[in-house]
Amino acid sequence: MTELTRALTADSFAVPPPHILDGIDATLAHTVFPSIPHTLYAELWHIAYWQRITLDWIAGIETPVPPHASAGFPDSEQIAAEPWPNLLERFLADIRQAGVHAEDIARLDCEIRCPATPYFPVRVMTVRDQLISLAGHNAYHFGRMVLLRQLLGAWPQATAGLTW
């Protein structure tokens, strides 16, 4: 397993994503904490949203980015349409796919087109660079999720293991 794959799917520089998500049920996922802008559900939805765009770009599908950052978080209709277990399953399936791409050494240096907002030109980057960007993005939001779990008294989770 490459370090890039580990950064996306396993225990590279932090607790692996499945471990961070372990023990979160629908009630905890939708718990609102005062002065925190997003729930655990919204944070994972956001990760899955951008992860899917990354996978589209790697597949040659020029999915545009939303014109405003708020579109990258779920609205009430999107939340109602996808129960927590389904979101969790979607995230895990897509992160496994990202890991497969990270292991495809022959394609890592292939260039892909990454559309930006209407105000910026299309970026061209390698599959490797896009996956590194995804790993960094995910790490940022998973860090927020761990902090939110701490604030909600739900970290470390019962399965213990690595908790930093």
| DSSP result, 123-150 | EEEEHHHHHHHHHHHHHHHHHHHHHHHH
pLDDT of residue 163: 54
Q: What share of the chain is helix, strand, coil (3-state, %, to 5)?
A: 55, 5, 40
pLDDT of residue 158: 63
pLDDT of residue 29: 98
Q: Report the CATH number of the 3-151 domain.
A: 1.20.120.450
Interval 134-156: pLDDT, tens: 999 999 999 999 999 999 999 98
Q: Which residues of the chain have pLDDT under 50?
A: none
Interval 3-21: pLDDT, tens: 999 999 988 878 899 999 9
Distance CA 117, CA 40 (A): 26
Backbone angles phi, psi at 111, to 5 degrees: -85, 145
Backbone angles phi, psi at 24, to 5 degrees: -90, 120
